[in-house]
Amino acid sequence: MNHDTGAILVLSGPSGAGKSSLIKKIEKEIGAYYFSISTTTRPIREGEVEGVHYYFVDREQFEADIEEENFLEYAKVHGNYYGTSIKPVKKALKEGKLVIFDIDVQGHDAVQKRLADITTSVFVTTPTLCELKQRLNARGTDAQEIIDGRIDVAKREVQRISEYDYLVINDDLDEAAAVLVNIAKAARMKIPSIKINEFVLNWEDIC
């Protein structure tokens, strides 16, 4: 059975819900994957690394890439562009990798519209808003206005959980990781429509 066609796992959910920790925890168990790095025009923040947290480009470059349809999805948030370049995603899919996206509900929507057949989506969140606030404050890395902004976004995004295939409530990290491993392994089994059509066409071959 050929499953080397690649598939997509979308993770959304509030910053502070533990998406990165979860990925780190499950990466050895889920096989070859490519974690998609977004491109943005927002200024680099202290502690951020080019090519790790984001690819940082200027507005001219970003708009040229939009023009050339180089983005799988993009959005403007608070005056800054954020997007996913299509090229590395295509390459990783060709290599049979599980492409993992950490994107917001808008981005999820865009990916579903273009690649629903190979996409599995998961909303990761804290058990409560209260818990999210505590975690964001405890990190102590962000200014209060950034934390407040993240909380506003979280409140809006949580309303759209039902658009996702799965909800993972990250209360206990080990438990949540165990759940996510199962989802990620199954995500790999999604077969592109084009392969399904090929299979159906060839199914009735001659004995």
* Residues of the shown chain interacting with a copy of itself in the complex, contacts defined by CB under 8 A: 1, 3, 125, 128-130, 133-134, 155, 158-159, 161-162, 165-169, 171-172, 175-176, 179, 182-183, 185-191, 193, 196-197, 199-200, 202-207
Strand partners, 124: 168
User: What is the Cα–Cα distance from 119 to 111, expressed in whole angstroms?
Assistant: 8
Q: Which is nearer to a copy of itself, 57 or 184 (CB)?
A: 184
Q: Are 101 and 111 in contact (CB under 8 A)?
A: yes
Two structure tokens written together for 13 = 């959910």
The letter for the amino acid at 117 is: D
- Cβ-in-10-Å burial (0-12, 13-18, 19+) of 203 comes to exposed
Residue 190 C-beta: closest distance to a copy of itself, Å: 7
Q: Which is nearer to a copy of itself, 103 or 154 (CB)?
A: 154
Q: Which is nearer to a copy of itself, 71 or 123 (CB)?
A: 123
Residue 89 C-beta: closest distance to a copy of itself, Å: 22
Residue 85 C-beta: closest distance to a copy of itself, Å: 28
DSSP 3-state helix, strand, coil percentages of the chain (rounded to 5)?
Answer: 45, 20, 35
Q: Which is nearer to a copy of itself, 57 or 179 (CB)?
A: 179
Residue 186 C-beta: closest distance to a copy of itself, Å: 3
Two structure tokens written together for 52 = 């790790």
Q: Which is nearer to a copy of itself, 66 or 178 (CB)?
A: 178
User: What is the Cα–Cα distance from 90 to 87, expressed in whole angstroms?
Assistant: 5
3-state secondary structure at position 164: coil
Residue 49 C-beta: closest distance to a copy of itself, Å: 32
